[in-house]
Amino acid sequence: MQRIRLRYTKRGRLRFTSHRDFQRAFERALRRAEVPMAYSAGFTPHPKVSYANAAPTGTGSEAEFLEIALVEVCDPDKLRELLDESLPAGLDIIDAVEARTSGLADRLTASVWELRLDGVRPEEAGHAVAAFLAAEAVEVERRTKNGLRTFDARDAVAALEVARPQPDRPGDGPCAILRLVVRHVTPAVRPDDVLSGLRAVADLAPPVPAAVTRLAQGLFDEESGTVTDPLAPDREAARPAPPMAAGPAAAKAPEGAGTA
């Protein structure tokens, strides 16, 4: 059995597709592309597809991941092209590697998000960000299936800054763009929780809903503060080992050795 790991996107209007909607679209794409899928055992077999940490409905993403199991060996690049052609534009398969390591989900420990705040000046957003980062804790509320829950949105935030300030253009209002790096913790802290925290500490309330996009997802490097590519270990494992350099003539017995 071969395992292939795929990176896909949710762009444009398709950011409003739910995870279940994507599952249905992806399984139809598997059938259209005639992918030799492995199936689960039991009375109702299902294709073996593992999804990892899907983005919330309504957010765009450039870094969603899943893994499929095949009964025949396929070229990852050709498989990516076939699946991408079988999916609607906006749900795009942009990377594929053969799984040669374990624990893909364990390498998804943080996400990088972009939050576009139309109608908010960068200076105003900067003051709110400074207040959020200066707070020891920022309690926010979120309604869950078990009722209203209160938790700290500050502790999971590894970085938050105003990025790429844009000058006002004729006919357009101000716009602030935030770059957020958040660790995957329990309970999960989402971009809308951070926006709720900014409203709580600095009364920052964009006049229109923020446009949120996940830019990256992977292992968080504490030293550099960056999020690394979770598929990189599989690529490294697939590279052939470098040829061994010819050893020096040290293997040759020294002159006169072994003689009486």
Q: Which residue has the tokens 């590894």?
A: 158
**What are the start-end ranges of the E strands in the chain?**
2-10, 49-52, 60-70, 93-98, 110-118, 139-144, 147-152, 157-162, 175-183, 211-221, 226-228
Within a domain: residue 126? yes
Residues 30 and 52 in one domain: yes
How many domains, the chain? 2
For residue 214, which of 95, 90, 62, 91 has the smallest C-alpha distance?
62
Of the three residues 47, 82, 106, the one that is the final residue of a domain is 106
Q: What is the CATH number of the domain that holds 195?
A: 3.30.70
Predicted local distance difference test score (pLDDT) of residue 260: 38
Within a domain: residue 250? no
Predicted local distance difference test score (pLDDT) of residue 171: 54
Residues 87 and 180 in one domain: no
Rounded to whole angstroms, the Cα distance separating 216 from 214 reads: 6
Predicted local distance difference test score (pLDDT) of residue 149: 87
Residues 73 and 144 in one domain: no
Average pLDDT for consecutive 10-residue bins of the chain (260 residues)? Answer: 96 94 96 95 91 94 97 97 96 96 93 96 96 96 84 95 68 88 94 96 95 96 92 89 56 46
Other beta carbons within 10 angstroms of residue 65's beta carbon come to: 23
Of the three residues 85, 106, 127, the one that is the final residue of a domain is 106
Residues 115 and 162 in one domain: yes
Residues 125 and 195 in one domain: yes
> Bridge partners of 116?
177, 211
Q: What is the CATH number of the domain that holds 91?
A: 3.30.70.580
Within a domain: residue 50? yes
Residues 91 and 170 in one domain: no
* pTM score over 0.85: yes
Predicted local distance difference test score (pLDDT) of residue 257: 46
Within a domain: residue 203? yes
Of the three residues 106, 140, 171, the one that is the final residue of a domain is 106
Q: Which residue has the tokens 């790429």?
A: 164
- DSSP secondary structure code for residue 145 in this structure: T
Within a domain: residue 89? yes
Residues 165 and 212 in one domain: yes
Residues 147 and 191 in one domain: yes
Which domain does 96 fall in, by range? 2-106
Within a domain: residue 165? yes
Predicted local distance difference test score (pLDDT) of residue 90: 96
Residues 102 and 112 in one domain: no
Predicted local distance difference test score (pLDDT) of residue 254: 47
Residues 64 and 167 in one domain: no
Predicted local distance difference test score (pLDDT) of residue 253: 44
Q: How far from 187 is each of 100, 142, 152, 156, 191, CA to CA, in Å?
A: 31, 11, 9, 10, 13
Residues 197 and 115 in one domain: yes
**Pairing state of beta strands 60-70 and 211-221?**
parallel
Predicted local distance difference test score (pLDDT) of residue 259: 44
For residue 163, which of 230, 101, 117 has the smallest C-alpha distance?
117
Rounded to whole angstroms, the Cα distance separating 189 from 151 reads: 9
Rounded to whole angstroms, the Cα distance separating 73 from 89 reads: 27
Within a domain: residue 166? yes
Rounded to whole angstroms, the Cα distance separating 211 from 60 reads: 8
Residues 126 and 208 in one domain: yes
CB-CB contact of 210 with 119 (8 Å): no
CA-only gyration radius of the chain, Å = 24
Within a domain: residue 12? yes
Rounded to whole angstroms, the Cα distance separating 180 from 201 reads: 17
Q: How far from 127 is each of 159, 181, 200, 201, 223, CA to CA, in Å?
A: 15, 18, 13, 10, 26
